[in-house]
Structure 1
Amino acid sequence: MILVGTASWADKNLIDSGLFYPAHIKTPSDRLGYYASQFPLVEVDSSYYALPSERNAALWVERTPPGFLFDVKSFRLFTQHQTPPKVLPVDIRAALGPVEKKNIYYGDLPEELRGELWSRFRSALKPLKDAGKLGVVLFQFPPWFVYRQSNLEHIAACARVMEGFRIAVEFRHRSWFDDKHREDVLEFERSRGLTHVVVDEPQGFASSIPSVWETTSPEIAVVRMHGRNRETWSQKGLESSADRFNYLYSADELQELAGSIEKLAAKARETHVIFNNNFGNFAQHNAGELKQLLARP
């Protein structure tokens, strides 16, 4: 089973483009309902910026049909990203006390507070999990998260905390899949039941990961399409993330990718394909095209 969707249904760039939602679709609930009529899968990216809530998750369950799935991105603190203290829950900020730094990191929080954040994150996902609508929880690590033992241990710790959930791991530093480490990394993921995320993205940068078309879990495979815009991949000062992913896949590129996806899908019970080229309606346009390609006999 191959499910195709996009990263977010409420991206401002998508809504402002006016190219996906009909004119009468104006509310958040109507947008999700319309999106779910077009695709069977979506990725929640808002959970990276702030902890999701049980209430919102329950609403997502209500507003989508049976069988619809949500892949949810991990909260940024858990993946060693810089995190402004203001995005933490009010009581967690109070317990943390005065913070002089602009950003904090996972190691800056006492173990008790980290545990509380993990607990709330798991609870927020419960309505989706109970309804059978939770796909994977995506742990996308930053470009400075390089291959080393301490980082392997952090991933293993995340997996232990999230036991009972399907975890997908995406790296953004080439050291993870260089010739020296590739097989070790894949075996590390297999031994812990972690899903390796196959990426399609520009190559030639320290943050570039090659497309490693391998499965590490017989249950699920994940492919994320970031586009191939080399000019904006590492450019600083862009107005929004959409500018970085300003790329529309051609019909020939999608045809080639469809073949690779079908071969990968033969090794897993379920395969998720997420388009993250979220400039205007590019992701939705390409996702629709790929769906048609995969549906052909």
Structure 2
Amino acid sequence: MAEILIGTCGWTDPELLRSGWYPPGHRDAEKRLRHYATRFPVVEADSPYYALPTPRTTTLWADRTPPGFRFDVKAFSLLTGHRTRPAALPADLRGHPRDEALRTEVWTRYAEALTPLLRSGRLGTLLFQFPPSLAPGPDAEAFVRTARERARGWPFAVEFRDPAWWHPARAPRTTAFLKDLDATAVAVDTVQGLPTSMPADTPATSARLAVVRFHGRSPHWGTGTKEDRFRHAYTERELLAWLPRVQALAEVTDELHILFNNCCGDAAPTAARTLQDLLRTRLPHQRTPTTARRPPADEAPRPPSG
């Protein structure tokens, strides 16, 4: 039975900082992260999607959070096939062709930067969110497999943004493909009824970890600004409807991460806290810590590879 860890996608969003969710005096990076870790046991770090982090940054993340806290870290955009601005690359790599050799070098630097989280036991998973342009097929599978091979030995989660991957006729192949890669299939909650809507019943593909990301139910999903796409305040009724799926995932994995990506203001932490409360009252047998749990003495992080 999984331990269910609930948190948010990021802790430094400007609208969250302006919302008043952080107490007065929590203006610097250290105090914000330490405060966040008193409220939730897991967080998604999305900044590495936009720019490669440094080992010093991730060392500080580990130092500022308690044992058992988890960071799910988004993969850098170049590694997932997203458009990547030249300025987002390290200066010495900006003139290189956008090919597999460049991705391999970027992966090497990305992995080096995340090693402090892995060694401290704070890395939940790497999150490879692939773009809508990655439609299912042999070439796409080869691209994902290559990414996985680079990250051999690392926890690896996959979120597809093209709903065709989970079309009923395709879903069994996608499920088998991710199981073969030892990859976690990320389940999502989005608005339904649009051509880009993602199904919510993604299966578990790893016995170690399942991940659910709540993106909100904006009718502008897939279009408009970030605020347009993700603006949503989850109701208790909407979250209650997820409890059977949460329980089903928890029954087949060791750890379940549920992350709220809805904005704006304090909508994400508010929804996360509501779901924590619902799980405690409706599924009291589930383990749902509100802060990081201390790992057993013999729990050791897996060594990095690649």
TM-score by length of 2: 0.89
Give the one of 114, 136, 141 matched to 2:125: 136
Structure 1 stretches of 4+ with a deviation exceeding 4 A read: none
Deviation at 1:24, TM superposition (A): 1.6
Matched, 1:145 2:130: no
CA distance in 2, matches of 1:12, 1:289: 22
Matched, 1:65 2:54: no
Aligned 8 A contact 1:7 1:278 in 2? no
Deviation at 1:244, TM superposition (A): 1.8
Q: Which has the higher contact order (CA 8 A, sep 6+)?
A: 2
CA distance in 2, matches of 1:142, 1:52: 21
Deviation at 1:179, TM superposition (A): 2.3
CA distance in 1, matches of 2:164, 2:222: 17
Matched, 1:112 2:101: yes
Percentage of matched positions with identical amino acids: 41
Deviation at 1:257, TM superposition (A): 1.1
CA distance in 1, matches of 2:113, 2:147: 16
Counterpart secondary structure, 1:144: coil
CA distance in 1, matches of 2:278, 2:173: 34
| Aligned CA distance change for structure 1 residues 202 and 161 (closer, same or farther; 3 Å) | same
Superposed counterparts of 1:1-297, under 5 Å: 1-18=3-20, 20-93=21-94, 95-96=95-96, 108-230=97-219, 232-236=220-224, 238=225, 241-296=226-281, 297=284
CA distance in 1, matches of 2:36, 2:243: 22
**Which 5+ residue runs of structure 1 have no aligned equivalent?**
97-107
| Aligned CA distance change for structure 1 residues 127 and 262 (closer, same or farther; 3 Å) | same
CA distance in 1, matches of 2:78, 2:5: 29
1:99 alignment counterpart: none
CA distance in 2, matches of 1:154, 1:111: 10
Q: Deviations over 1:66-92 (max 9, x none)?
A: 110000000001111011101100111
| Aligned CA distance change for structure 1 residues 26 and 234 (closer, same or farther; 3 Å) | same
CA distance in 1, matches of 2:159, 2:103: 22
Deviation at 1:228, TM superposition (A): 1.0
Q: Deviations over 1:227-256 (max 9, x none)?
A: 1111x21333x3xx1332111111111112
CA distance in 1, matches of 2:59, 2:196: 36
Counterpart secondary structure, 2:43: strand
Q: Deviations over 1:108-148 (max 9, x none)?
A: 42443322111001111100000000001001011111111
Q: Give the aligned residue type for 2:274.
A: E
Counterpart secondary structure, 1:60: helix
The number of aligned residues is 280
Structure with the largest fraction of helix: 1
CA distance in 2, matches of 1:234, 1:133: 32
Aligned 8 A contact 2:166 2:202 in 1? no
Q: Give the aligned residue type for 1:48.
A: Y
CA distance in 2, matches of 1:117, 1:8: 23
CA distance in 2, matches of 1:110, 1:218: 33
Deviation at 1:258, TM superposition (A): 2.3
Aligned 8 A contact 1:213 1:264 in 2? no
CA distance in 1, matches of 2:171, 2:276: 30
Q: Give the aligned residue type for 1:289.
A: T
Aligned 8 A contact 1:47 1:74 in 2? yes
Q: Give the aligned residue type for 1:9.
A: W
TM-score by length of 1: 0.91
| Aligned CA distance change for structure 1 residues 178 and 111 (closer, same or farther; 3 Å) | closer
Counterpart secondary structure, 2:185: strand
